[in-house]
Amino acid sequence: MNYKLIAIDMDGTLLRSDKTLSESTISILKEVMKQGCEIVISTGRCLKELYDIYEKLPEIRYFITTNGALVYDAKEDKVIYENSISIPLVYKIIEASHRKDLMLHILDFECIIEKDKLEHVETYKMASYREMYTKIAKCVDSIDSYFKENEKTIQKINLYHKNKEDRQESISFLSQFDLCLTYAESCALECTANHVNKGIGLQKLSSYLNIDSKQIASIGDSFNDLSMFKTANISFAMGNAEEDVKKQADIVVSDNDHDGVKEAIEYIKNFE
């Protein structure tokens, strides 16, 4: 294969709408890895939220998580790159969460949410993640209190809103600070340190592996995937992607419920 590294988003891309992996996609990923191509999962999730990938595809070694704030070598249990939100800015994001009724989700090497918000997760348009949060999240009574007792830099914080109008108010408040703000899901806002994105994470990994950008492909569906589209030599948007995302990809494939990732990799395999 001419391509040596394929960066693949998870939710809305690699995973179907029910958050499962198709067997045909698993099969083709294993096939190209045997041929010497590195598959890297590039996701907004944190490491602890990748248990389904570890189980189904243990051959995958490298992960770009929390929208590029962490690049990780699972085989060596090694952090290749990390760029986290400073403590003062974490407090500003927590302050933003008090301005509206929203759900706060802290992602670092673990994921933290408030118990009462998990009970009403569908209110914040995140019902499809209930099972995952129930299984792996650390549930606390108050994130304010938790963070005051455990002050540290944080890789990423998600704000889940009831509607797009509330999200816009959060953006208006947080845009005055040195943060990277990214739309996600229907009403979510993802917050990372400034100059953090999947594209930079992909650059850090490709430099670490000494892989030229001409040998990199990327597959995604959302606005937080656009930076890795620009970093890769060829990019694929899923059929379920936003129209603006499709316009910025080289090729549009089938949606995540109809093996769009498999279709993209078959194209990559045959590309000369």
For the stretch 170-192, pLDDT in tens is 999 999 999 999 888 889 999 99
- For residues 167 and 118, give the distance between their C-alpha atoms in angstroms, rounded to a whole number: 19
Sheet with 103-107: list strands edge to edge: 138-140, 111-114, 103-107, 156-160, 188-193, 179-184
Question: 23-34 and 260-270 helices cross at what angle (nearest 10)?
Answer: 30
Strand partners, 183: 189
Report the 10 Å Cβ neighbour count for 52: 17
Report the 10 Å Cβ neighbour count for 91: 15
Q: Which two tokens stand for residue 55?
A: 């189980």
**Mean pLDDT on 35-44:** 96
Q: Which two tokens stand for residue 127?
A: 């019902």
Q: Which two tokens stand for residue 185?
A: 């899901």
Select from 39, 66, 30 the least CA-distant residue to 211: 39
pLDDT of residue 271: 75
Under the banding of pLDDT at 50, 70 and 90, the label for residue 88 is very high
pLDDT of residue 270: 85
Helix (H) or strand (E) holding 160: strand 156-160
SS3 assignment, position 177? coil
Q: Do the Cβ atoms of 191 and 86 come closer than 8 Å?
A: no
Convert the pLDDT of each residue in 159-170 to its tens digit.
Answer: 999 999 999 999
- For residues 33 and 230, give the distance between their C-alpha atoms in angstroms, rounded to a whole number: 23
Helix (H) or strand (E) holding 200: helix 198-209
Q: Do the Cβ atoms of 170 and 99 come closer than 8 Å?
A: yes
pTM above 0.85, yes or no: yes
